[in-house]
Structure 1
């Protein structure tokens, strides 16, 4: 990642007043009425910088929004949002990071490659050996929840065994135990359980208590994730043992993502994924573009180099789709108010002078 192509802006809310000069579309994180007025010479001078203007232009009229939800230590997540305005050769991205109080942190990337390099550095692991996927085919949400809940429950039993100085080689779970663990985790919204993190962090998934069906257990057995399938005894198969070993060690905070653009009927979802990074692999569960009731997943366990190639192709496809969406380029017009070009204050229609600075008010262009 070229440091010359990545710029960081630590901002106070008042420094966003320059956005008053740019019409905002529905993907923008800001609304005109919520934008502040300029309060100091310092904020005015920053607004004149070309790189800052380029970042604001993307935030005002993005064509692509990538919303990330990452689990934190408490039962909540932090939101990280990336914006792009692909088309006409523009490959820049702006990332909006959460900051304390009313401050903002903006990261401006001159190219998609710089943005992907930053993403990998912050969320991925340098895994050197590719791992086989859990299945060569797509599988449904109930099966994925079953797989993750089984891994979670085994990890819990193994940890309890270590605390008692016992071995965990002969553990066997039952369907009843898994359902009990899942219910307790859902009630507490405990993101340490991967099944709960999957539902809470990935936008667009059903936000109701998940149920483990008999068909999901049967599919897990057919995938080699379980080596025995009876209600009283659920033994991990080769695939389950591998995933359990990987996710026991150095698991980073899980991450959910949704890519959005603007369509004819408003906001439109382009793609979603759920991401887990372990010491040995980067696990990517990508969604099919289907309704919530018919969602299927494809799993990949990737090295960092393979993940970079995968994410580059994925982002290029998103940019192409967003650039071809004409509705995304149409800003929301400024109506019912007149914008003062001197100070950015919004005056009432019919007013001739700005009540904030006294400047003459020109009518908004049609």
Structure 2
């Protein structure tokens, strides 16, 4: 990612040559920590000279702030982008408890280190949202009403990919109809092939490839996960045959026509001197919604996810709340992060209506909960 060394979208922009990092250590006296991508090499520092790029930063009043965040951050967010036709990209966002400034660390096409310093999370988020999010549409039907096991999401995204695949094959074969049925065995085998391919043209492998640390989650697909995907409308089953459901068709068409790539990120902090992963998120924007999946590890190491289909404004509000939670975590040493800070309602499995805590029957359709 390339930018001029001046200002950009409310940020001050600096460049450094890779060898300038050693001189940044020497000039500022910062020792570094495990969250930083850089370590001090005294031999190289003693035998090399800083580049012309370093001079601009060394004369800036922002030198101390940038060195503190780049070399000794308290909170690191690793971002990866890819999927669909989007170019692969990786960068870091670094924060400190000393103040609210936000430093973005990138590498440009010439191999220089590109640094964007924002005064606060708000201007950073405005820039980030304008680059990666779509406007979306309001009142997107809720797809996953509860916090669910990640295996259910794996099944759902696989169904979307199968629909996309069938659609493309029908075009290549000049067929008007789609092949929407397959055996359960073929469904599972195709899922294994999808994940092994690491092919980011498809939604499911993209989620695992761009979301840092997600591959390390304990994922074990069971028949009940396919059953729950069926209850959500992604598939219907008949003995050993699975047929893609209405939800797969709707979302499959959505991703065929308007998926612009995906972004995965993970927030890591030093908690009482120990490096801890706090939050992991996958975002897949389309013209209809910014699909955000946040992951958490529950009891027994079970991976669960929460889904939000947001407009650009709603996504901005959610990520504002997310950062507020992260800053509190870094401040007090706890490790509970939720991207959705609204009251935790449950939803009726029959009609999808919100259920207030403590209710045993749906107040809309009367179904037992």
TM-score normalised by length of structure 2: 0.78
Hey, what's the Cα distance between the residues in 1 that align with 2:51 and 2:109? 21
Q: d(CA) in 2 for partners of 1:230 and 1:7? A: 61
Counterpart among 67, 72, 76 of residue 61 in structure 1: 72
Contact 2:14/2:57, CA 8 A, preserved across alignment: no
User: What is the match of residue 197 of structure 1?
Assistant: 206
Preserved contact between residue 80 and residue 210 of structure 2 (Cα < 8 Å)? yes
Counterpart position of 1:8: 13
Aligned residues: 322
Is 1:151 the counterpart of 2:151 in the alignment?
Answer: no
Paired position in structure 1 for 2:197? 188
**Runs of 5+ unmatched residues, structure 1:** 327-366
Aligned partners of 1:85 and 1:323 also within 8 Å:
no
Q: Deviations over 1:317-357 (max 9, x none)?
A: 1112113349xxxxxxxxxxxxxxxxxxxxxxxxxxxxxxx
How far apart, in 1, do the equivalents of 2:112 and 2:144 lie?
45
**Does residue 319 in structure 1 map to residue 330 in structure 2?**
no
Matches within 5 A, 1:93-242: 93-100=102-109, 102-169=111-178, 171-207=180-216, 212-237=221-246, 239-242=247-250
1:99 offset after TM fit, Å?
2.4
Matched, 1:71 2:89: no
Deviation at 1:149, TM superposition (A): 0.7
Q: Distance in 1 between matches of 2:87 and 2:312?
A: 27
Deviations 1:240-274 (A, max 9, x none): 23221211122122221110001236210111111
Pick one of 310, 316, 323 that aligns with 1:302.
Answer: 310
Inter-partner Cα distance in structure 2 for 1:179 and 1:208:
19
Q: List alignment gaps of at least 5 residues for structure 2.
A: 1-6, 335-369
Higher relative contact order (CA 8 A, sep 6+): 1
Q: Is residue 276 of structure 1 aligned with residue 281 of structure 2?
A: no
After superposition, residues 80-95 of structure 1 pair within 5 angstroms as 80-87=91-98, 90-95=99-104
Larger Cα Rg: Structure 1 or Structure 2?
A: 1
In the superposition, the TM-score normalised over structure 1's length comes to 0.79
Cα distance, 1:9 vs structure 2: 1.7
